[in-house]
Structure 1
Amino acid sequence: MEHDPLTPWLEWAREIQALSQTGLAFAQTHYERIRYHRLLELASEMVASRTCLETEDILRTFLVQPGYATVKVDVRGAVVRDDRILLVRERTDGKWAMPGGWADVGEYPSAMIAREIFEESGYEAKPIRLVGVYDANRAGRPMEFFHAYKVLFLCELTGGAPSASDETSDVGFFPFEDLPPLSEHRTNHIHLSEVRRHLADPTRPAAFD
């Protein structure tokens, strides 16, 4: 599968950050800790030089997750009724996405996506099929500080009623041909096209990057 070109400076800074974070986790001497911390500072300075963010703020963000650097996981649920897809309006940017969010430690993926759908939309649903696993940082937009995978489930509506939440301001079912503005780092047309392919072919295997 072809991907859009990466943003080189941010890709480099992110890789330096990941290597430094892992290095700090396994550093055995004071000298090693100083060296890896300096690499974190350099990664922060790289990002600050190309953005309006302050170096100190970026460094604090990089230090939030100590330990071995690994990929974060975002889960999304595709709930379709009468050929209309359930979307929620995100309070952060005012745009629309399939319900979901960051995976929580200790929770089954199936239980987590059912909970996210209910909390963000008010609807009850159960996952019935894995649609795909995507590299969330390569979707035609600038890369984030941390690498993430997006796991997309096709879900069956089982009950509930529309209800907004602290994270969402509106809920609705939309025709695939007439979608509202999408919050594209959460849900984009690639994801929705794959959902439609799975609806048309129940034997279709899960997509992956």
Structure 2
Amino acid sequence: MNNKWLQWAKQLQSIAQSGLAFSKNEFDIERFEKIRNISIEIMSEYTELSNDKIRTLFANESGYQTPKIDVRAAIFKNGKILLVNEKKDKRWSMPGGYADIDLSISENAKKESMEEAGANVDPKRIIAVLDRNKYIKDDYPYAIYKIFVECDYIDGRYTDNLETSNAKFFEYENLPELSVGRNTKDQIKMCFEARETDILEPIFD
């Protein structure tokens, strides 16, 4: 659901975080702290999570607020895409996660592929950069830009890890239940279509 209360809470949180980052006046700082607390109370009221939990998940950063970056590796072999089974929800997604600040996009794609799928890959090109919350209508508190990277599979062997419980190749017509917060069926279709295109202009919204 595209709830207005969530948008209001996120906007208040963003205003408060920026104000706390740049304000020098102690009275302004106090006002922005109050705004942040109001945003936390709104989230807590509608999600039934405690204020402390909301503060940890939703209002735990400092500095000017910008979207997080999520890199997803679209790894292909013989017309199939490699997906991993997420331990958190028992559903499937392309390997990926939040980008590490000391790695490039291609390096993050390689890292996530190896850690989650045991796959050694060769990143080829960016398929798309998409705003997560334009395509997944839930009550997720963060703004995220998702970067989909087409990768060739070189070799590998899945090993158990903290985040995934399996890794397999799938045809598009035979996809398993997806972890929609990480990738949708339409996004996987987008990756398959890009794979068949020699000259690709990255998609962005």
Q: Which residue of 2 aligns with 1:165?
A: 161
* 1:134 maps to amino acid: L
Q: Which residue of 2 aligns with 1:69?
A: 65
1:19 & 1:141 partners in 2: Cα distance? 23
State the SS of the aligned residue for 2:198.
Answer: coil
Large movers: runs of 4+ above 6 Å = none
State the SS of the aligned residue for 2:174.
Answer: coil
1:149-200 residue CA offsets vs partner (Å, 9 max, x unmatched):
0000000111112223211011101111111110011111121111111112
* 1:85 maps to amino acid: I
Q: Which residue of 1 aligns with 2:148?
A: 152
1:31 aligns with 2:11: no
Q: Percent identity?
A: 31
2:139 & 2:189 partners in 1: Cα distance? 22
Q: Which residue of 1 aligns with 2:92?
A: 96
Please list, as runs of the form range in 1=range in 2, the aligned pairs for 1:45-64 lying within 5 A after superposition.
Answer: 45-64=41-60
Q: Which residue of 2 aligns with 1:189?
A: 185
Q: Which residue of 1 aligns with 2:80?
A: 84
2:169 & 2:24 partners in 1: Cα distance? 54
Query: 1:56 Cα shift?
Result: 2.9
TM-score, normalised to structure 1, is 0.94
Pairwise CA RMSD of aligned residues?
Answer: 1.3
Q: Which residue of 1 aligns with 2:108?
A: 112
Quick check: 1:75–1:102 contact (8 Å CA) kept in 2? yes
Quick check: 1:119–1:165 contact (8 Å CA) kept in 2? yes
2:174 & 2:127 partners in 1: Cα distance? 21
1:6 & 1:62 partners in 2: Cα distance? 17
* 1:187 maps to amino acid: N
1:56 & 1:102 partners in 2: Cα distance? 23
State the SS of the aligned residue for 2:135.
Answer: coil
1:140 equivalent among 130, 136, 140 = 136
Query: 1:67 Cα shift?
Result: 1.0
Query: 1:140 Cα shift?
Result: 3.2
Query: 1:118 Cα shift?
Result: 0.6
Query: 1:70 Cα shift?
Result: 0.9
2:36 equivalent among 30, 34, 40 = 40
The number of residues matched between the two structures is: 205
1:14 aligns with 2:10: yes
